[in-house]
Each structure stands twice: as C-alpha cells, then as structure tokens.
C-alpha cells in the first residue's frame, strides 16, 4: 500500500510541476496589447487561468494528502522496538561465548593437502 501511495505521490508531483510551468506569469497580459489574441485559446476568451488554477489547487491538496499519509506510514514503522541497543543480559552472554582467539595456540589452521596427485 505504501508503494502505491508513493507512486501516486510522485505522479502528482510531476503533474503539479507541469501545471505550474504551463501557467502564464503576471506580465503575460502585456503581450495581449500587441496582438496576442486571447480569444483564440483553447480555454476561451478568459484564458486558461481559471482551469489551470483550479487544477493546481486540486493537485496541491492531493500532494499534501499523500505527503501526510506517507509521513503517517513512516511514523508507524518507527514504533518498532529499538533494535540498535541490545539488552544487558545479551551483552553478558556474548562476552561468555568462546571465540577463535581463545582456542589453543598450537593448532595448525592450514588447509589439508592431497598427497599422491602427480598431475
């Protein structure tokens, strides 16, 4: 479920960036005085301002919702017991376990050699 929400979150983020880049800036109205016919646009004579603004607001709300959902999932995952700090009894058990260094010093650890091969 978390992966699906993350994929939706990324898709919304990309769509939000595209919608923001499609919108005209504040100084774009000056171009209409020099022949920029606003009545020839796809969205009508008012331009795309209303449609793009509403779409941006809806996508921004969806982006915040998916962000909060992902944050909630992350907080639920962090409620697991602390795995980094072992119990003191476990530390004492680990100290009493013999290691290779504690073994007898006269043991030969060389690998066995097969005798009688004349290749």
Helix (H) and strand (E) counts for the chain?
A: 3, 0
Q: From CA 53, how far away is CA 48, in angstroms rounded? A: 8
Helices (H), 30-48: none
pLDDT digits (tens, 9 = 90+) for 63-108: 999 999 999 998 887 665 556 666 677 666 666 656 666 555 555 6
pLDDT score for 53: 87
- pLDDT over 70, % of the chain: 48
> Mean of the per-residue pLDDT values for the chain?
75
Q: From CA 92, how far away is CA 25, in angstroms rounded? A: 68
pLDDT score for 33: 57
- Residue 49's pLDDT band (boundaries 50, 70, 90)? low
Quote the radius of gyration of the chain (alpha carbons, Å): 34
């Amino acid at each position: 479920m978390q992966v699906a929400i993350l994929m939706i979150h990324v898709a919304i983020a990309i769509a939000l960036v595209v919608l923001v880049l499609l919108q005209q800036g504040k100084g774009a109205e000056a171009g209409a005085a020099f022949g920029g016919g606003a009545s020839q646009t796809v969205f009508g004579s008012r331009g795309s301002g209303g449609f793009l603004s509403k779409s941006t607001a809806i996508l921004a709300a969806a982006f915040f919702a998916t962000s909060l959902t992902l944050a909630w999932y992350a907080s639920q995952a962090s409620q697991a017991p602390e795995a980094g700090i072992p119990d003191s009894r476990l530390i004492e058990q680990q100290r009493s376990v013999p290691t290779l260094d504690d073994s007898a010093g006269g043991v030969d650890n060389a690998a066995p050699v097969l005798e009688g091969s004349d290749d």
